[in-house]
């Protein structure tokens, strides 16, 4: 079996080696090219799935989090400052929580695209009916 190389140039006007990468495929060039082209969308989908799975979490120090007294662990809520806190309250049983009750994290409309921790809490807590 002989090795075949496919050269991919990102720009035909810049044949600079920095813009060129090589694939060492052990098949005929046409088959290898077809396989490579089929592989690109799958790799893109895998990358997108990995990124969405790693949605950014709200940090306790984020300005909005500080204003609302958000903490990733409800038991660490500032009970002196936020007297509405009661034991057992947490994001995962709040009306605004967009994840499932068993999810480690989920969305909350108060924090945009960032996710809050299921065991978290903030002063806007509203018990899920
Ligand atoms: S509003 Fe509810 S879900 Fe959102 S951060 Fe506060 S306690 Fe958690």
pLDDT tens figures, 71-86: 999 999 999 999 999 9
Domain regions of the chain by residue span: 4-53, 63-117
pLDDT tens figures, 26-45: 567 676 666 655 655 555 45
- 3, 25 Cβ separation under 8 angstroms: yes
Question: Could you name the CATH architecture of 63-117?
Answer: Irregular (4.10)
Protein residues with CB under 6 Å of any ligand 1 atom? 70, 91, 94, 96-97, 108, 110, 116, 120-122, 124-125
Q: Give, for 117, the enclosing helix (H) or strand (E).
A: strand 115-117
Largest Cα span, the chain: 74
Q: Give, for 29, the enclosing helix (H) or strand (E).
A: helix 29-53
- 116, 58 Cβ separation under 8 angstroms: yes
Which pLDDT does position 86 carry in this prediction? 98
Closest-lying ligand 1 atom to the alpha carbon of residue 125:
7
The model's pTM: 0.63
pLDDT tens figures, 54-76: 789 999 899 999 999 999 999 99
* For ligand 1, mutation pick of 58, 67, 70 (most atoms within 8 Å of CB): 70
For residue 96, count other CB atoms closer than 10 A to its CB.
17
- Rounded to 5 degrees, φ, ψ at 107 are -75, 160
């Amino acid at each position: 079996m002989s090795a075949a190389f496919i050269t991919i140039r990102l720009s035909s006007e810049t044949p600079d080696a920095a813009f060129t990468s090589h694939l060492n495929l052990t098949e005929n060039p046409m088959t290898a090219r077809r396989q490579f082209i089929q592989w690109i969308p799958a790799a893109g989908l895998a990358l997108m799935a990995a990124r969405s799975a790693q949605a950014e979490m709200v940090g306790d120090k984020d300005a909005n989090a500080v204003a609302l007294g958000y903490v990733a662990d409800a038991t660490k809520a500032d009970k002196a400052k936020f007297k509405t806190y009661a034991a057992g309250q947490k994001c995962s049983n709040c009306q605004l929580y967009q994840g499932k009750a068993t999810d480690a994290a989920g969305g909350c409309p108060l924090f945009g695209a960032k996710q809050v921790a299921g065991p978290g809490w903030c002063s806007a807590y509203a018990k899920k009916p």
